Amino acid sequence: MVNGDWPLKQDPIVIRLVEPQDSVEEITELLHRAYARLAEMGLRFVATHQDAETTAMRLSLGEAYVAVHEDKIVGTIAMKRPGTTQGCEWYDRKDVSVFNQFAVEPGLQNQGLGSKMLDVVEARAKELGAAEMALDTAEGATHLIEFYSKRGYRQVGKANWGPTNYISVVMSKNLERADRL
């Protein structure tokens, strides 16, 4: 469990593993709100329209985390353990962990919460033996590519996932090198 003095006011946000009592519907609604900008751009990310059953399935594929503020889920991220990812050449590597379903409540975006959530999953992936943490995002989501690039992620490939309407850029961060910077 990670506690922070977030936001900068006195009310803490706690980042923790998803618990059985957490509402999958609440997480799904958060995903829809957080991905609405991408939907408005015409990008059909799964998270723009997925149902609660899909959310639950995707959360179950690894470790899932939520950020909670005053009993409300304000962020979520799911991480697949190294050696369990698949779907493109980079993800097929045994030393790669992948995160997805990454969302922050729109009113809290661009304030550092997403970075704190990434810190948690990057550290956890390294604990589990991952050398690389990877993700994919739409080529047209240049604001996301820029965000991840600033965090040390580099483009390592492309993928075309069936349910989307775009080509994805696969990005990865070397977790071992990141420690030395």
Of 44, 81, 65, give the one whose Cα is nearest residue 160. 44
* 148 within some domain: no
Q: How many domains does the chain have?
A: 1
Whole-structure pTM value: 0.89
- Tens digit of each residue's pLDDT (9 = 90 or more) over 100-113: 999 999 999 999 99
Mean pLDDT to the nearest integer, 105-128: 96
* 141 within some domain: no
What was the pLDDT predicted at 77?
98
CATH, residue 100: 3.40.630.30
Assess whether pLDDT exceeds 70 at residue 143: yes
Give the chain's end-to-end CA distance (angstroms, integer): 25
The type of residue at 70 is: E
* 142 within some domain: no
Assess whether pLDDT exceeds 50 at residue 8: no
* 172 within some domain: no
* 56 within some domain: yes
* 59 within some domain: yes
* 139 within some domain: no
**Which structural domain, as residue segments, surrounds residue 127?**
2-131
* 23 within some domain: yes
Task: For residue 7, say if its preceding peptide bond is cis, omega within 30 degrees of 0.
Answer: yes
Assess whether pLDDT exceeds 80 at residue 22: yes
d(CA 69, CA 71): 5
Mean pLDDT to the nearest integer, 59-87: 94
Mean pLDDT to the nearest integer, 40-68: 95
Assess whether pLDDT exceeds 60 at residue 10: no
